[in-house]
Structure 1
Amino acid sequence: MEEEIESSLLNQSLTILDRFSNLEDIDVVAGGSLVLRLLICFVYSVVCAVGLVGNLLVLFFIRVKQERKKSRVNLFVLNLAVTDFQFVLTLPFWAVDTALDFSWPFGNAMCKIILSVTVMNMYASVFFLTAMSVTRYWSVVSSLKDRTRQWSVSAKWVCAMIWVMATVATAPTSIFSSVTNVTGEKLCLLRFPGGQYWLAVYHIQKILIGFVLPMSIVSFSYIMLLRFIRHRSMKPGNPKRRSQVTKSVTIVVLSFFLCWMPNQAITFWSVLVKLNAANWDKAYYIVHSYVFPVTVCLAHANSCLNPIIYCLMRKEFRKKLKDLIFRG
């Protein structure tokens, strides 16, 4: 969700390209920019449509149908659906911004709101995924069958803490985001008083809190879960169940990693450039102009995958969905 970086780089292309003497490069970038923007708009539209439908189904099954309402994991899934639903609602704004060559038409107030909601729900989504992985491991390891009420109350406090942490992590975005005039275009960007240094710190926070730490916790939790299942929980005569759990865990971890790793890797590269640890060269510009927007779309697609992975892959939810379709 680094629209501010993407917008700044693309709209400063003439300045950057002055460093390169080959005029053919300018033609390539100008021609590729339109195709790329159309591709981004299309992806945003698809992600928005699928995300709205998928997350509304999750909310319907869990909240309206009260499917397994006392499950702690389901409370996290419910909150995850809420945050992903809020997130996909911001995509039409970014699609319009992209279609207008990253010129923000909605004013300064909406810039702060949309950018803040985008970043906050990115953090909240990752935090809830992390909480679900820990809960899944803990629920298998501990046999607290008669403590449903205590689990439910505890889960509510955890959800409240996650929303508070996501809000705090988003504070720099809310404070320093604004509509800024860059080469005659109005862009929705982050403008830190300290310039590139504080922007680098901001991205380091995003990498560590939004990816490295959650990914480490998610991976450790599921590794420990599989280890526990292999040595204690699963009997040798039940290989099918072990295979199902292993498959589910693999899909969860891989989807989280594959959706976020490319975006975070390029963001880390930009941090090195801002701290003068790497050069701003033609390769850097091309990657940020062409590859980085694609990684943003891939990260956005995670909001579509979440309801599919955590709900529609579960047998009881598939049954509810089938009943709903055939009754309709």
Structure 2
Amino acid sequence: METSTVQSFSPDPLALQAEEEDELTVEDIPLELEKTLRYLSIIIYSIAFLLGTTGNGLVIWIAGFKMKRTVNTVWFLNLAIADFIFTFFLPLSITYTALGFNWPFGTLLCKLNSTIAFLNLFASVFLLTVISADRCVSVVRPVWAQNHRTPRLASAIALSIWLAAFILCSPYLAFRDTIRDNENNVTHCYNNYAFSNDFDDLEVVALRSMRHQVMISVRFLFGFLLPFGLILVFYSLMALKLRRSHLSWSSRPFKVMAFVVAAFFLCWFPYHILSVLEVVMHHWDNKELKSAVLIGSPLATSLAFFNSCLNPFLYVFLGRDFKESLRRSILSAFETAFSEEQGKNTYSLGSPRSVSDQESQFT
């Protein structure tokens, strides 16, 4: 039965093992290791909550109310909103984990908590992809970008991103459910892919397995593989244009964005790899692989969650030199990180050149 297996070691709504359908129990790993991983998850979630709500709340306040509205502030504001909403709900996962994976908040919050987690994933990765495309256009077609890049257009694109992200995460509103485990006197928040608590009927089991694999595949494709591929293409095009023009990457806002993109994919990479291994486990019965997924899941999930509190610190520490950022106000550091490159000496080698001066070399 699903709820008596890996559910008892499920750290949160994103945890891979919370979705595992095979019979892998906590007896497959040492009890002390299970406790260590659970306590580690609680610590990391708590840090992510404290830093994420504070840091992203500060970004929202500064980018939304203290800075001039530009294309860049629209991008970073929406990134901060996605991370803030997610980290704001982290106490639910912290409580769930601390109670030994007993969900006391009811079915509605079970559905909402998981949906928000994946809304953050899709909204963030789509925003990073669009920001990379925006950077690419600014380098390849600087004059066109200067004439057409407007905060209004950026806001419309951001709204479309939120809509697309909600569509992709909406199945969790349907599939996420609670079930009572009377034997252990706990309530589990889990993915009821078959809309049935019958774990013995072969047709129900097959339906659950099929939908589980589809959900993982869609999440991996749209939440990692396609965005990562597109971002690589955009950065390659920028590198090619700059190399042909004998220019270098000297824009601080560009470097900030590069670090934000790198941090996101590094933090989410282990999670998505374990997701792929989950699909493999449906077709290959291997106890060692199952144990690796079970042990690695809380670590990978914790790393993914931690990404939601990193960006504000990247903005501050990369917005200006580290020592200077300690002396100057946070607002000043954010203004540097979010500044527009248009019309400035953004990319230079030797003598300074403006973006508009470079268009002939970029065509």
TM tier relative to shorter chain? 0.7 to 0.9
**Residues in 1 aligned to 2:145 and 2:278: alpha-carbon distance in whole angstroms:** 49
**Which residue pairs with 2:49 in the alignment?**
48
Pair 320,147 (structure 1): closer, same or farther in 2 beyond 3 Å: farther
**Residues in 2 aligned to 1:32 and 1:116: alpha-carbon distance in whole angstroms:** 29
**Which residue pairs with 1:147 in the alignment?**
147
Q: Among 212, 218, 222, which residue is 2:231 paired with?
A: 218
Pair 83,311 (structure 1): closer, same or farther in 2 beyond 3 Å: farther
- 1:128-139 to 2 correspondences below 5 Å: 128-139=127-138
**Which residue pairs with 1:283 in the alignment?**
288
> Cα deviation per residue 1:183-212 (whole Å; 9 max; x = unaligned)?
643111111122111011000000000000
**Residues in 2 aligned to 1:97 and 1:40: alpha-carbon distance in whole angstroms:** 11
Give yes or no for contact 1:259–1:299 (8 Å, CA) kept in 2: yes
Pair 257,103 (structure 1): closer, same or farther in 2 beyond 3 Å: same
In structure 1, runs of 5+ residues without a counterpart are 18-24
Q: Tell whether 2:277 aligns with 1:269.
A: yes
**Which residue pairs with 1:156 in the alignment?**
155
Give yes or no for contact 1:55–1:82 (8 Å, CA) kept in 2: yes
In structure 2, runs of 5+ residues without a counterpart are 1-11, 195-206, 333-363
**Residues in 1 aligned to 2:258 and 2:146: alpha-carbon distance in whole angstroms:** 30
DSSP-derived class of the 1:147 partner: helix
Give yes or no for contact 2:126–2:227 (8 Å, CA) kept in 1: yes
Pair 135,325 (structure 1): closer, same or farther in 2 beyond 3 Å: closer
**Residues in 2 aligned to 1:240 and 1:110: alpha-carbon distance in whole angstroms:** 45
Identity level (%)? 26
**Which residue pairs with 2:98 in the alignment?**
99
**Residues in 1 aligned to 2:225 and 2:262: alpha-carbon distance in whole angstroms:** 14
Aligned-residue offset at 1:283: 1.5
Pair 245,293 (structure 1): closer, same or farther in 2 beyond 3 Å: same
**Which residue pairs with 1:20 in the alignment?**
none
**Which residue pairs with 1:230 in the alignment?**
243
Aligned-residue offset at 1:273: 1.7
> Cα deviation per residue 1:9-38 (whole Å; 9 max; x = unaligned)?
6xx99x635xxxxxxx94952221111111
> Cα deviation per residue 1:219-248 (whole Å; 9 max; x = unaligned)?
2112222222222272xxxx6828x68865
Aligned-residue offset at 1:294: 0.4
**Residues in 1 aligned to 2:109 and 2:253: alpha-carbon distance in whole angstroms:** 43
Give yes or no for contact 2:15–2:301 (8 Å, CA) kept in 1: no
Give yes or no for contact 2:277–2:293 (8 Å, CA) kept in 1: no
**Residues in 1 aligned to 2:327 and 2:79: alpha-carbon distance in whole angstroms:** 19
Q: Tell whether 2:329 aligns with 1:323.
A: yes
Q: Tell whether 2:312 aligns with 1:307.
A: yes
**Residues in 1 aligned to 2:279 and 2:34: alpha-carbon distance in whole angstroms:** 24
Q: Tell whether 2:210 aligns with 1:197.
A: yes
> Cα deviation per residue 1:105-127 (whole Å; 9 max; x = unaligned)?
11111111111111112111111
DSSP-derived class of the 2:250 partner: helix
> How large is the Cα RMSD of the aligned pairs?
3.0
Aligned-residue offset at 1:146: 5.4
Amino acid at match of 1:241: S
Give yes or no for contact 2:62–2:331 (8 Å, CA) kept in 1: no
**Which residue pairs with 2:180 in the alignment?**
181
Amino acid at match of 2:231: V
**Residues in 2 aligned to 1:153 and 1:321: alpha-carbon distance in whole angstroms:** 34
Give yes or no for contact 1:7–1:187 (8 Å, CA) kept in 2: no
Q: Tell whether 2:34 aligns with 1:30.
A: no
**Residues in 2 aligned to 1:191 and 1:137: alpha-carbon distance in whole angstroms:** 42
Give yes or no for contact 2:79–2:124 (8 Å, CA) kept in 1: yes
TM-score (norm 2): 0.75
Give yes or no for contact 1:61–1:320 (8 Å, CA) kept in 2: no
* Corresponding residue pairs, total: 305
**Residues in 2 aligned to 1:146 and 1:292: alpha-carbon distance in whole angstroms:** 45
